[in-house]
Each structure stands twice: as C-alpha cells, then as structure tokens.
C-alpha cells in the first residue's frame, strides 16, 4: 500500500501557490479524512445553515423590538399632540368669545 492511498483523497487548489495539493490527513472513512468526508461536509453545511438562520431570526427580532418601541413612543406623542390641539382649539374659541364680548 502506497502512502498516498492512506491519505485523504481530497485535493484542493492553493490560489497563492497556483498548485493543487492533496489533504495531508490520513483517510479514516471511504478514502477521506474526518473533515473531508461527504457526510461530515453535509453535517457541517446543515449546522452552518442553522446558525445562519438563527442569526437572521435574532437580528429580525431585535429589529422588531426596536420597531415596537418606536411605534409605542410615536403613539404616545400623537396622543399628546391631539390633546394639545384640543386644548388650543378650546382656548381659541374662548379667546374669540371674550373678544366678541369686549367689542360689544
Ligand atoms: Zn482531508
């Protein structure tokens, strides 16, 4: 048995060296090392996707909480504004009534 056949059969290209290299780990299953076995890669891909989705959900919920806070603050300001407008209108009506009485 040659040395190569006991090594992982994964071959990758090193761009900066412009050459192909074979994985230096020893083959443990189906000619692949633990990292490069298709099953391990599939499991890793599933794990990464789950982490990616969890991060998206986390970020989305953070945004939702902020949005809810802003909407609540906005509602409070709108209610305050409506109350002030009503007060202003009442004051204007009272003022014009007093002026009318004063002119007579
Ligand atoms: Zn390998």
For residue 95, the CA-to-ligand 1 centroid distance in Å is 88
CB-proximal residues (5 Å) to ion ligand 1 = 8, 10, 23, 25, 33, 36
Contact 41, 62 (CB under 8 A): no
- Whether the Cβ atoms of residue 24 and residue 7 lie closer than 8 Å to each other: yes
22 DSSP 8-state letter? E
CA of 37 to the centre of ligand 1 (A): 7
CA nearest to 31, candidates 54, 5, 60: 5
Read off the pLDDT of residues 49-85 as tens digits, 9 standing for 90 and up: 999 999 999 988 888 889 999 999 999 999 999 999 9
> 46 pLDDT exceeds 70?
yes
**Ligand 1 center from residue 25 Cα (angstroms):** 5
Categorize the per-residue pLDDT at 98 as very low, low, confident or very high, splitting at 50, 70 and 90: confident
Q: In whole numbers, what is the pLDDT of the chain averaged over residues?
A: 90
**What's the CA-to-centroid distance between 76 and ligand 1, angstroms?**
61
- Does the structure show a pLDDT above 80 at 22? yes
The confidence score (pLDDT) of residue 1 equals: 46
């Amino acid at each position: 048995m040659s040395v190569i056949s006991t090594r992982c059969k994964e071959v990758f290209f090193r761009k900066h060296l412009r050459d192909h290299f074979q994985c230096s780990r020893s083959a443990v299953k189906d000619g692949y090392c633990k990292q490069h076995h298709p099953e391990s890669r599939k499991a890793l891909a599933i794990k990464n996707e789950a982490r990616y989705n969890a991060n998206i959900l986390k970020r989305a919920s953070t945004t939702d909480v902020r949005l809810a806070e802003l909407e609540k603050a906005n509602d409070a300001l709108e209610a305050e504004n409506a109350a002030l407008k009503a007060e202003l209108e009442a004051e204007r009506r009272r003022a014009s009534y007093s002026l009318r009485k004063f002119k007579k």
